[in-house]
Structure 1
Amino acid sequence: MTYTYKTKGTCSTQIDLELEGNIVHNVKFTGGCNGNLQAIPKLVEGLTVEQVEEKIGGISCNGRPTSCGDQLAKACREAYEASKQA
């Protein structure tokens, strides 16, 4: 399942990802800090939604209550819940 998530409160504006069951694949960010947004997809490739949430959920950035990693954790959870409804 391919999913698009519009981010809130970050420099990146969108996250596209694929889920195979609860396994995360092919994460792509639109906008944001180039280095971080190349690294994060490589680090989460093949992890479960739960593992992504545990590792990067809740991270803040520059005093903001969220970060690109935190938004990815939210995107993965939202995508997973949507896949269960389909």
Structure 2
Amino acid sequence: MVYNYTTKNTCSTNIKLELDGDIVKNIEFTGGCNGNLKAIQLLVQGWTVEQIEEKCHGITCGRRPTSCADQLALAVREAYNESQKEFAAE
């Protein structure tokens, strides 16, 4: 499942990702700090939704109450929940 998530209160504006069950693949950020986001994409490639939430949820950026990593944790959970709704509807 490919999922697009519109970020909130970050320099990045969108996160596109692919879910295979609860495994996260092919993460792409739009905007944000290019080098840092490339690193995040590579580091969490193949992790589960739970692993990303455990490591990234709650990280802040400067004075902001969130960060691109925190938004990724929210995005993967939202994508996973949506995939479960689709699975249940089948």
Give the TM-score normalised by the residue count of structure 1: 0.99
1:22 — aligned with what?
22
Q: Which amino acid aligns with 1:36?
A: N
Give secondary structure in 1 for the equivalent of 2:32. coil
Shift in Å at residue 63 of structure 1?
1.0
2-structure distance, mates of 1:4, 1:80: 12
- Flag structure 2 segments of 5+ consecutive residues without an equivalent: none
Q: How many pairs were matched up?
A: 86
Higher CA-based Rg? 2
Shift in Å at residue 45 of structure 1?
0.4
Pairing of 1:20-59 with structure 2 (within 5 A): 20-59=20-59
Q: Which amino acid aligns with 2:16?
A: D
1:83 — aligned with what?
83
1:70 — aligned with what?
70
RMSD: 0.4
- Flag structure 1 segments of 5+ consecutive residues without an equivalent: none
4+ long deviations beyond 3 Å: none
Shift in Å at residue 44 of structure 1?
0.7
